[in-house]
């Protein structure tokens, strides 16, 4: 077998680039474990090569090196090296633009070649000791259709060459992860809740706890930004506990502007949930038979309402100057903590 360039080598339980490697240290092939020679010349790119003909191929070395790199970078990041915080290029579910997104959040361990049912995945990431997400490394053949359909955890497929060339920016050739938002949209989503609390304070009102959902809209009369409420159609508990801006007149329910008094029909108006230009777009408005269900359904809806708010920013319906952008909380958005609902 003719000599081929080995991009990474193992030593001391880690993988090393030729630039990081030092003369006099023993390095082995990530794939076949045989000894490698470090070559730092002037004519060719720095690389490793087998001392003798190895039993592996360029494809197998690339595949193994990529898997080890993914795990090593994650473990280095977990140990406190922020420079190893790899990201994944994904389409934002809000602005629909491609950008590098966080990948490591809520993950606490990574191992190569983990079993998921009857399938083995190249890299498995764990969350609280549970296999949560996987990465498949493609060098020659991609993930088969049947494996895609039967894989029981979310995963991405990435090119082995992509990982070896730039292990800190994964560009999926296949993405089976749940939809997520980019950093900018997440910041605006969090800004939605900060702004809602600010509006409530200025207007002398309160942000009501579940089951009430709220959006931020502009009053058609005075142009002030106000909180606009909706709630599940099965909920009939409004009374003394209703938001201060909700009025009941002759059995009809109205949202009322706290600044100018303009009243408009309120309640569970389902056509707004199907209106892509409405503030309650895609909110399910489900109630729940238990306190846990009520809060879970509330969180589901508020995530969609705040995402719609971010879309309004990108469509120009709300100017950037009006938006309170804040840092996204580590580990994602916790509405109980954000809105001080308690436990």
Residues 6+ apart with CB under 8 A from 49: 3, 4, 5, 6, 36, 37, 39
Calculate the average pLDDT of the chain.
85
Judge whether residue 122 has pLDDT over 50: yes
Backbone angles phi, psi at 59, to 5 degrees: -65, -45
DSSP 144: -
DSSP-assigned letters across all residues of 243-256? -TTEEEETTEEEEE
Taking a C-beta distance cutoff of 8 angstroms, is the pair 280, 230 a contact? yes
* 36-40 mean pLDDT: 89
For the chain, the domains span 9-56, 62-175, 183-338
Average pLDDT for residues 133-139, to the nearest whole number? Answer: 97
Alpha-carbon distance 343 to 336, whole Å?
7
Confidence at residue 207, expressed as pLDDT on a 0 to 100 scale: 83
pLDDT of residue 236: 59
Query: What is the C-alpha to C-alpha distance for residues 335 and 294, in angstroms, rounded to an integer?
Result: 13
Nearest residue to 307 via CA among 196, 176, 156, 190: 190
Which residues make Cβ contacts (< 8 Å) with residue 80, sequence separation at least 6? none
**CA angle 24-82-100, nearest 5°?**
110
pLDDT at position 43: 66
- pLDDT per position as a tens digit, 246-256: 887 787 788 89
- Is 334's pLDDT higher than 70? no
pLDDT 10s digits, 138-171: 999 999 999 999 999 999 999 999 999 999 999 9
Q: Which residues contact 306 (CB under 8 A, 6 or more apart)?
A: 189, 192, 193
Assess whether the previous peptide bond of 300 is cis (omega < 30° from 0). no
Please state at what angle helix 183-203 crosses helix 291-315, rounded to 10 degrees.
Answer: 100
Contact 71, 112 (CB under 8 A): yes
pLDDT by residue (tens digit) across 274-310?
Answer: 577 888 888 888 888 888 888 889 999 999 999 999 9
Residue 335 Cα distances to 166, 259, 300, angstroms: 36, 27, 10
CA gap 80, 44 in Å, rounded: 35
8 vs 321, higher pLDDT: 8
Q: How many degrees, rounded to 5, is the angle at CA 107 between CA 103 and CA 112? A: 90
The token pair that represents 26 in the structure block: 């023993």
Which token pair is 263?
A: 């009243």
Residue of 214, 272, 284, 222 whose CA lies nearest to 243: 214
**Is the pLDDT confidence value at 2 over 70?**
no
pTM: 0.77
How much is the average pLDDT of 26-54? 84
* DSSP character at residue 211: T
Q: What DSSP element (H or E) covers 140?
A: none
CA–CA separation, 64 and 56 (whole Å): 11
């Amino acid at each position: 077998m003719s000599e081929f360039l080995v991009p990474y080598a193992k030593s001391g339980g880690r993988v090393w680039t030729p630039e990081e490697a030092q003369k006099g240290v023993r390095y082995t092939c990530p794939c076949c474990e045989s000894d490698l020679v470090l070559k730092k010349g002037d004519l060719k790119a720095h690389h490793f090569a087998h001392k003798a003909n190895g039993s592996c191929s360029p494809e197998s070395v690339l595949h193994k090196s990529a898997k080890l790199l993914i795990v090593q970078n994650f473990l280095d990041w977990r140990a406190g090296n922020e420079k190893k915080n790899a990201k994944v290029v994904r389409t934002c579910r809000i602005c629909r633009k491609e950008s590098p997104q966080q990948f490591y959040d809520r993950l606490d361990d990574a191992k190569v070649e983990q079993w998921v049912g009857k399938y083995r995945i190249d890299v498995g990431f764990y969350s609280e000791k549970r296999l949560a997400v996987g990465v498949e490394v493609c060098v020659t053949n991609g993930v088969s259709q049947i494996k895609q359909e039967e894989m029981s955890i979310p995963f991405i497929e990435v090119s082995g060459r992509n990982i070896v060339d730039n292990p800190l920016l994964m560009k999926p050739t296949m993405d089976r992860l749940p939809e997520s938002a980019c950093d900018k949209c997440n910041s605006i989503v969090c800004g939605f809740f900060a702004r809602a609390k600010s509006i409530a304070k200025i207007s002398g009102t309160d942000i009501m706890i579940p089951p009430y959902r709220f959006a931020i809209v502009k009053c058609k009369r005075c142009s002030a930004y106000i909180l606009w409420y909706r709630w599940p159609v099965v909920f009939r508990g409004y009374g003394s506990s209703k938001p201060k801006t909700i009025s009941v007149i002759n059995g009809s329910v109205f949202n009322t502007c706290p600044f100018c008094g303009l009243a408009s029909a309120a309640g569970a108006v389902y056509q707004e949930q199907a209106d892509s230009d409405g503030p309650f777009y895609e909110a399910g408005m489900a109630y729940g038979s238990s306190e846990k269900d009520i809060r879970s359904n509330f969180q589901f809806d508020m995530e969609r309402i705040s995402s719609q708010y971010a879309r309004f920013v990108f469509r120009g319906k709300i100017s950037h100057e009006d938006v309170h952008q804040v840092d996204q909380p580590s580990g994602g958005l916790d509405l109980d903590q954000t809105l001080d609902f308690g436990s």
